[in-house]
A and B are shown apart, each in its own frame.
Chain A
Amino acid sequence: AQKITQTQPGMFVQEKEAVTLDCTYDTSDQSYGLFWYKQPSSGEMIFLIYQGSYDEQNATEGRYSLNFQKARKSANLVISASQLGDSAMYFCAMREYNQGGKLIFGQGTELSVKP
């Protein structure tokens, strides 16, 4: 069973607008973490934001925020004021803490920012 689902293979957004990238997850564990990574065309994986399952506040990091809805098992990434440099692949990932720390990734969403 797919544990992390990103239903948007590709997304377009106009520069300076906000965009939401969807991510749903499946776990029976109570203790887990949710991550978003950015992969630009150069290939490296850049950590963006983290949300712990016990965190009551939504995580924010600059222009990135994570819309965490625990009951719905969703962890959507919101990018405000998109920039051309935001064009990249975005991966949602989950870590189940009783599983040794490995990350389980979604299929990714390719975001294109239009000028």
Chain B
Amino acid sequence: EAGVTQFPSHSVIEKGQTVTLRCDPISGHDNLYWYRRVMGKEIKFLLHFVKESKQDESGMPNNRFLAERTGGTYSTLKVQPAELEDSGVYFCASSQVRTSEAFFGQGTRLTVV
């Protein structure tokens, strides 16, 4: 069974540019989460999808971040325009039900220069 897959694994962009991160959850997992770890700090929750619906987006830092999950399958997280403080590792996780174990992807390391 394929795990959670994230693309790209690394991205370096200039301040002001746009970047789109993608997450493919484990097939059949309705719950999809995005997290972010800024250098040296703890991993922070960004948002939670149940199928294609946003269940909780309380962790999204500002309106430069837009997440979608078309058809309840893969999800994208777009940062537009990117700022220096957006640099960090973005993780995606999925779970079958909200109370079960969350499986993580390998993360996308975003560097904004």
Note all chain A residues with C-beta closer than 8 A to B104.
37, 44-47
Contact (A107, B41) CB under 8 Å given A42-B106, A44-B106, A101-B99: yes
B97: nearest chain-A partner, CB-CB:
A101
Option from A4, A33, A47 in Cβ contact (under 8 Å) with B103 = A47
Q: Does A19 lie at the interface of the complex (its beta carbon under 8 Å from any beta carbon of B)?
A: no
Note all chain B residues with C-beta closer than 8 A to A107.
41-42
In B64-83, the 8 Å CB interface with A consists of none
Contact (A100, B48) CB under 8 Å given A45-B91, A106-B42, A107-B42: yes
Q: Choose among B48, B55, B91, B104 the residue with the greatest number of A CB atoms under 10 Å from its CB.
A: B104
The complex places the Cα of A4 from the Cα of B43 at a distance, in Å, of 11
What is the distance, in angstroms, from B83's C-beta to the closest C-beta of chain A? 23
Option from A47, A103, A106, A108 in Cβ contact (under 8 Å) with B35 = A103
Chain B: how many interface residues by the 8 Å CB criterion?
A: 27
Assess the B48–A105 pair: CB atoms within 8 A.
no
Assess the A43–B89 pair: CB atoms within 8 A.
yes
Interface string of A61-100 (1 = CB under 8 A from B): 0000000000000000000000000000001010101011
Q: Does B22 lie at the interface of the complex (its beta carbon under 8 Å from any beta carbon of A)?
A: no
Note all chain A residues with C-beta closer than 8 A to B87.
none
Assess the B99–A33 pair: CB atoms within 8 A.
yes
Assess the B98–A100 pair: CB atoms within 8 A.
yes
Interface string of B41-65 (1 = CB under 8 A from A): 1111100100000011001000000
Q: Does A50 lie at the interface of the complex (its beta carbon under 8 Å from any beta carbon of B)?
A: yes
What is the distance, in angstroms, from A49's C-beta to the closest C-beta of chain B? 10
Q: Does B107 lie at the interface of the complex (its beta carbon under 8 Å from any beta carbon of A)?
A: yes
Contact (A102, B56) CB under 8 Å given A43-B89, A107-B42: yes
Interface string of B89-113 (1 = CB under 8 A from A): 1010101011101111111010000
What is the distance, in angstroms, from A60's C-beta to the closest C-beta of chain B? 16
Option from B99, B102, B107 in Cβ contact (under 8 Å) with A97 = B99
